[in-house]
Structure 1
Amino acid sequence: MRRPPRPPSPQGRGFSRNTERPPAGEARRGPPAEATPGGMLWLHGLHSVAAALANPARRLRRLLLTSDAHKEISARLPPPWRIQPELAERAHFAAFLPEDSVHQGAALLVEALEPLDIHDAIDAGPGPILVLDQVTDPRNVGAILRSAAAFGASAVVMQDRHAPPETGALARAASGALELVPMIRVVNLARALDELKKHDCWVVGLDGTAPTTLAQAGLAGRRVALVLGAEGEGMRRLTREGCDELARLPISDRMESLNVSAAAAVALYELGRM
């Protein structure tokens, strides 16, 4: 016997109700994990999901939305989209997202972005390139991507190891910028700096002990690759030696340093004024 047709969704056509099967990657026992088998991940939050829907390079697998989230994203990015959304209750998201996820009723299962190399950073545009030396906190990397998009940086370069993977938490912190700014991973950061120099990038390491401030470094008219080290330890020796010069931000003596994502934002703003 055939089932009767489903009643129309309150959001209109193309919006089905998810009641029968758990999302791909759902953990049936134990806490949910952000990564799923096959190199896929769940993005969550209105900004992250809307940006991924608008990114033609992003491969989409499954979209779950509450009714309110569907209205919000539709206002930002009018349908039709490349994937049909499924209606889900807010409580259902806890089954496949980490407990502390601020998902806002939106989750999108995607494939990881295609890997890029250092030449993609060079060719991405005229803006500065950010180079991260062992910045491991995904929230910091996400915030740096957000500042990079806001202030016109062309790419963010980091190591393949000692750097966070592409996750929903990183994308949430980036507030959509993961889809806008190329994030490039390299095996050897020192070799990447050498390659940037060969293509007329002036490599500046941000160091709180440098005698010269970023504004005093005479960078107007140059394409800058700005290197930021991990909080506490700063840049490693080989990374520091690979810089053309070191510069600092002029902060008050009352504070020893800035959070690395805050330093990136201030430095990018300063570069934009030159």
Structure 2
Amino acid sequence: MPPQGPRRQTGHAEAPPLSPSQAPPAWGGDVLYGRNAVYESLRAGRRAFHRLLLAEGLHPDERLRHIQRLAAERHVPIHIVTRAELGRIASGHHQGVALEAGPYPYVALEDILQHAAALGEPPLVLILDLLQDPQNLGTLIRTAEAVGVHGVVIQERRAAAVTPAVVQASAGAVEHLRVAQVTNLVRAMEHLKARGLWLVGLEATPEARPYDQVALSGPLGLVVGSEGAGLRRLVRKTCDLLVRLPMRGKVTSLNAAVAGSIVLYLARPPRPEGATP
């Protein structure tokens, strides 16, 4: 029978006028880029911020005004630079906006469980087994934040970390989400099991049960494998059960981020509008 119920347990001001500046010196921390990523990072306020860089000649739309207002509220200096200079500082599609920021604030695994407890909700944790592609990581994190996942667990080595590319791919959602980076994913999974979570691995294999035959409810950890190899042997063995999404078309599998996003919505529909996150 699929798992039912819990497992038995064994922290507005106006933006100041902008003035042209000399090209800023190189920054040793993260450089976030893209309007959504920069806006959400400033809104979350979880990092230390060094300065906001804006390309000269930007059209002052509503999102840009919000970014400037948040920067002013957080006392972040604003500098105008040429587009060429901004392109050298910020990789990717920067949309004329970049933010020099401190490192991403990873949390301890226990912080994720405490967050769920503070909300009075059964924990829902997304566990990623050596996911490599920053775009896939960003997509899954964006979905996880949207449906109210309490936290994400990734491995420290041989896996994608939260980089500026991931922040951009998640449209800034990762700035609001708790992410734990662990040295050993299997040990982290065993800790979650000891704290009462059922671990469900996502695989496109015949031995995996169709998703509609499994109760995706209660304290739950959804485990998604890497793009090519899927779940590693010990990770698979540590899962309580495996589920799959039946394929009715000619395509026999889905991208890891797409499949994981679908199951996240099945496991937990988004909170009602107006509910406290």
Within-5 A mapping of 1:89-168: 89-98=82-91, 101-125=92-116, 126=121, 127-168=123-164
TM-score (norm 2): 0.82
Structure 1 residues 108 and 76 mapped into 2: Cα distance closer, same or farther (>3 Å)? closer
Map of 2:16 onto structure 1? 14
Say whether 1:48 aligns with 2:37.
Answer: yes
Between stretches 134-143 and 160-169, larger displacement belongs to 160-169
- Whether the 8 Å CA contact 2:22–2:81 is kept in 1: the answer is no
* Amino acid in structure 2 at the alignment position of 1:94: G
Q: What is the RMSD computed on CA atoms of the aligned residues? A: 2.1
Matches within 5 A, 1:143-222: 143-209=139-205, 210-220=207-217, 222=218
Residue 240 of structure 2 is aligned to residue 247 of structure 1: no
Q: TM-score, normalised by structure 1?
A: 0.83
For structure 2, list consecutive stretches of 5 or more residues without a partner in the other structure.
Answer: 1-13, 271-277
Q: 1:173 to 1:69 in 2, by over 3 A?
A: farther
Dislocated runs of 4+, deviation >3 Å: 75-80
Offset at residue 229 of structure 1 (A): 0.4
Match for 1:81 among 73, 78, 81? 73
**1:218 Cα deviation (Å)?**
2.0
One-letter identity of the residue aligned with 1:217: V
Matching residue of 1:62: 51
Q: Which runs of 5+ in 1 are unaligned?
A: 1-11, 26-35
The SS at the match of 1:124 is helix
Aligned match of 2:252: 256
Deviations 1:83-139 (A, max 9, x none): 1322233232112123xx111111000001233221122223235211000101111
Structure 1 residues 77 and 92: alpha-carbon distance in aligned structure 2, compared to 1, 3 A threshold? closer
Letter in 2 for 1:165: A
Q: Give CA deviations for 1:123-171 in whole Å, capped at 9, x if unaligned.
A: 2323521100010111111111101111111111010001123321111
Deviation of 1:244 after TM superposition, in Å, equals 0.7
Larger RCO of the pair (alpha carbons < 8 Å, separation 6+): 2
Work out whether residues 14 and 84 of structure 1, in 8 Å CA contact, stay in contact via their aligned partners in 2: no
What is the distance in 1 between the residues matched to 2:159 and 2:102?
A: 19
SS in 2 for 1:203: strand
Q: What amino acid sits opposite 2:210 in the alignment?
A: T
Q: State the number of aligned residues.
A: 247
Q: Which amino acid aligns with 2:48?
A: R
SS of 2:160's partner is coil
Indicate conservation of the 8 Å contact 1:208/1:248, yes or no: yes
Q: Which moved more, 1:12-21 or 1:197-206?
A: 12-21
Conserved 8 A contact 1:214-1:249: yes
SS of the aligned residue for 1:136 comes to coil
Q: How many percent of aligned residue pairs carry the same amino acid?
A: 32
